[in-house]
Amino acid sequence: MVRYLQLAHNEWDPVAGASRTKVLHSFGREDEIDRDAIERLVTALTRLLDPARAAVLTGPTELAFTEARPLGGTHVLDGLWRRLGLDQVMRRQLAGRRLDPRVERVLFALVANRALDASSKLAATDWISRDVHIEGLPAIDEQSCYRAMDWLLDIEPALAKEAYFQVTDLLNLEVDLLFFDTTSTYFETEEADEPAPRDADGRLLPDGTDPQLATQMRGFRTHGKSKDSRDDLPQVVVGMAVTRDGIPVRVWSWPGSTADSDLIRQVKRDLREWSLSRVVWVADRGFTSAANRRALMQGGGGYIIGEKLRSGSAEVKAALARPGRYATVRDNMQVKEVNIATDDRFVICFNPDQATRDAAIRAKLVAQLEDAIADTDKLTKEERAHLAGQLSTKPGLKRFLRTTPGGLLRVDKKKIEAEAKLDGKYLLRSSDPHLSPEDIALGYKQLLEVERGWRDMKQLLDLRPVYHRREDRIRAHVLLCWLALLLIRVAENATGQTWNRLRAELQRLQAATFTGPAGTYRQTTEPTKPQRDILAALDLPVPRKVIELTATR
């Protein structure tokens, strides 16, 4: 029996009211058919199909679903990374160097790890290889991560400068005000680093450098004034400059005992190389000393600094004693400028809501103090002295405690009256003659963006604990946290949502992997409406349906 093979399909004949068979192609006798030609035809036809669908249709058996990895978070971060030109900046810096060409992908992966699932570098290599999809980097080893971090530290000055101009031009940022603040991060070790020769900026001098060039001998992880109230542990100091939009433009790291005036001098010099136009520095009350103000004024520019109302300085007393009316500005804030015999300008800010909160907090503290010293007149002098010593360890209560010449404990009513005059107020000092009192007040209020940056660096991105001992790796770790904060701030500003909410929603967008005899492919799940809204707000495309396809040889 001889059989002939034909490719046919049925067409409906509306006149006859019946289905007619139409032959599209005749292959001839079955025993004489050219099977290689058939395979070429099938291969050509599958090119018209979605690769995943083609794999399903041509595979001899069903595909097996093998795994699913989060995709949305890395897709968004990678899109912002490329839009801000960070990949191009790194590739330009990579030109001519004998490094793994994937080093840019490795650094992006480490930055994404900080933003999505912060962990040690060892755990990050497993996360990259097994738990997430990163385009262009299917897997990585720990040593590649460390080599990439070392290179990042080498190119940091050029990277920061190029990234700054890319970011400010693309996002049209206002940089007339740069907010600067520092924090400290401690290490769970009792031993500080051994003193080592350093230059004026606190950078470690390379081995073999003439010791005469060293301006200081200091360890990197060393004891200093801790902002985390851990003076017992060695620390490093980290500084950050932020735009009024909350975009971090650069970070620095210094030995833990570095003085404010030294770090200000380096920051001013580093940013002077960027040839910025007029910039006013905004800093908190920790930088109010005369030495720090002189450092901020060097090389031009100006400053806005918060003054300590309880410092007792003659300038603060004179400013608070000046009469005048407050002018109401936005955000329920009232301001008045006072003139005293100095070159600086002073602006007093008053917030009625904050005044109410300050009064309530003080009333609660006074009530606690009254309870603590009630009936203490019956105690011996030694017992009252012991109680006074205990109360002195509680700053909120100590402020309103008074001890009479006879050793009796009393509430200081004059101190309460003096404190009430400061409710809801803060005092600002500015060297800029052109800013209005309103701009000075609102500019300082924006310093909260830096404080929010520190909070996110420590809580969202896990600046601490630092899983490194070497100084260069600690510095590189800080840079990775900065790049992660840069990306999430851009995402937050564009969407109006916090990174926690964005991350939770985006990580539900998955990449599913299917494997069969014909090969393996990875396909994305269908984006939900919230996910599409996020991508639209960021002006990023929806991920491709099939993002990876590997045929079995």
pLDDT at 492: 94
pLDDT at 300: 66
Beta carbons of 429 and 346 less than 8 angstroms apart: yes
Task: Provide the H-helix boundaries in 17-98.
Answer: 35-46, 51-58, 72-83, 86-94
pLDDT band at 73 (very low <50, low <70, confident <90, very high): very high
Strand stretches in 194-324, DSSP E: 196-198, 216-218, 235-243, 248-255, 280-283, 302-307
DSSP letter string over 419-461? HHTTTTEEEEEE--SSS-HHHHHHHHHTTHHHHHHHHHHHHTS
Distance CA 271, CA 275 (A): 7
pLDDT at 504: 95
Distance CA 90, CA 539 (A): 23
Sequence-distant (6+) residues with CB within 8 A of 203 are none
**Of 57 and 500, the one with more pLDDT:** 500
Distance CA 153, CA 143 (A): 16
pLDDT band at 81 (very low <50, low <70, confident <90, very high): very high
pLDDT at 53: 61
What is the overall mean pLDDT for the chain?
86
Q: Report which listed range, 295-309, 455-469, 497-511, is most confident.
A: 497-511
Q: What is the DSSP letter of 378?
A: G
Q: Does residue 80 carry a pLDDT above 90?
A: yes
Percentage of the chain with pLDDT > 70?
95
Rg of the chain's alpha carbons, rounded to an integer? 33
**Of 79 and 432, the one with more pLDDT:** 79
pLDDT at 57: 58
Distance CA 40, CA 44 (A): 6
Beta carbons of 237 and 258 less than 8 angstroms apart: yes
Q: Does residue 147 carry a pLDDT above 70?
A: yes
Q: Does residue 248 carry a pLDDT above 70?
A: yes
- Which helix (DSSP H) or strand (DSSP E) does residue 411 occupy? strand 409-411
Q: What average pLDDT does the segment 527-551 reach? A: 91
**Of 34 and 542, the one with more pLDDT:** 542
pLDDT at 251: 93
Q: Report which listed range, 47-61, 117-131, 490-504, is most confident.
A: 490-504
For tokens 């010293």, what's the residue?
373
Q: Does residue 185 carry a pLDDT above 70?
A: yes
Percentage of the chain with pLDDT > 90?
34
pLDDT band at 545 (very low <50, low <70, confident <90, very high): confident
pLDDT at 65: 84
pTM of the predicted protein model? 0.78
Distance CA 166, CA 189 (A): 40
**Of 413 and 5, the one with more pLDDT:** 413
pLDDT at 401: 93
Domain spans of the chain, in order of start: 1-33, 354-420
pLDDT band at 465 (very low <50, low <70, confident <90, very high): confident
Tens of pLDDT, residues 294-329: 888 776 678 889 888 887 788 888 888 888 889 888
Using CA atoms, how far residue 318 sits from 105, 293, 349, 351, in Å, is: 58, 19, 15, 21
* Helices 72-83/529-537 angle, 10° precision: 10
